[in-house]
Amino acid sequence: MYIKKSRVIASIIAVVLLTAVLTTLALNPFGIENTGKFLKFSAISRIINSAYYDDIDRGESAEMAIAGVAASTGDPYTQYYWGDTATEYMEQLQGDYCGVGMYIRCDTEENLITVVSSIAGSPAEEAGITTDDKILKIDGQVYTGEQLNEASNYMRGEEGTEVTLSIRKAKDNSEQELTLTRRKIVIENVSSGMLDYGIGYLNISQFTENVSSNVKEHMENLNNEGMKSLIIDLRNNPGGILDEAVNISSMFIETDEIVTYTLDKNDRRNEFKSTDFLGDGKKYDMDIVILVNGGSASASEVLTGALKDYEKAYVIGEKTYGKGVVQSVMAVGIDNILSVTTSRYYSPNGVCIHGTGIEPDRTVEMSYENMVTDINKGIGNDIQLNEAVKFLAK
């Protein structure tokens, strides 16, 4: 009887141990081949929690660990946001927040914070902060590229307060200290007006929610004012929501044509086709010039690539940024957001511009300071815009 009981107990212990091992393997996020590292991660976490001189917020530790998994991809666009950072991310997508007004990313090569573009009319633009400038310090504190979220959070703040940025300028590598005053950043996604020779001017600053509906209204107004040709200004537009770019492309490209397509790591193809966005099969058919520069990225490049490939537009300016990857943004839990790069996108002719950008049909270089986004101020020294007017006036 004793021997039978011992065998039963031994069997139970074996089952418990096997269950524990299988559970560990099932819950291991690093894969079976890295089980040792998973156990080390768990052990070190416990050591730190017990040995550290103060209490540790275990919830914050877990959030940072998740963010570390996203960062391990080496992709600056794959990010995990929680708490206030998640709120700020959504505010930026919606185009309404308080800060200095610029889009930034992590430069993984130098581990520095890099400016993608400044928002038109923002404190950052007024201070002359431009594409590829590096942010080295904020109020004297060094920030690395890995601290992108912390830096973004710090630069936001109460309206009227000041923040000092140490900037390394892209054009000559000189370092400057610039003091900016935070203010409400309300992004005017679309502005328009009429120029000489019946030329309509349309500026799109970012592809946020409902921007295509705004463009539709502006185009109707320009058309009613006698527009004969069009300039679409995408300079310093960092991109945004892909569907908005597809909708705008649909105003010019025949219905059911490919605007862009994506390929994931398994070469699965997802096509985005033009729609009858204007209704009744209506399309705008006129001479178009698109203005771009190094700050034109992502969805801006989708729109530019589509109209260029279908020979609907002539492109003037400087080579675009070269962000040809697509992010899926999803809610994780109640207040957390995960942005994951899921695929590369291609122009209708099969060109992937990621890391290379789109070369304009006519290259016209110009200093950032002379760029005009509000034609009511007069186009003045904006030689790219002047070049577009000359081209269309012919």
Catalytic residue ranges? 298, 309, 323
CA distance 369 to 366: 8
The beta-strand segments (E) located in 100-225 are 102-107, 112-118, 134-138, 141-142, 162-168, 175-181, 183-186, 190-194, 199-204
For residue 22, with 0-12 CB atoms within 10 Å meaning exposed, 13-18 middle and 19 or more buried, which class applies? exposed
User: Which are the contacts of 303, defined by CB distance < 8 A and separation ≥ 6?
Assistant: 232, 234, 245, 248, 249, 290
**Residues making up the chain, counted from first to last:** 394
Residue 278: Cβ within 10 Å count: 17
Residues 252-276: b if buried by 16+ CB within 10 A, e if exposed: bbeeeebbbbbeeeeeeeeebebbe
- With beta carbons less than 8 A apart as the criterion, state whether 165 and 122 touch: no
CA distance 27 to 352: 37
User: Which are the contacts of 15, defined by CB distance < 8 A and separation ≥ 6?
Assistant: none
Strands 134-138 and 162-168: antiparallel
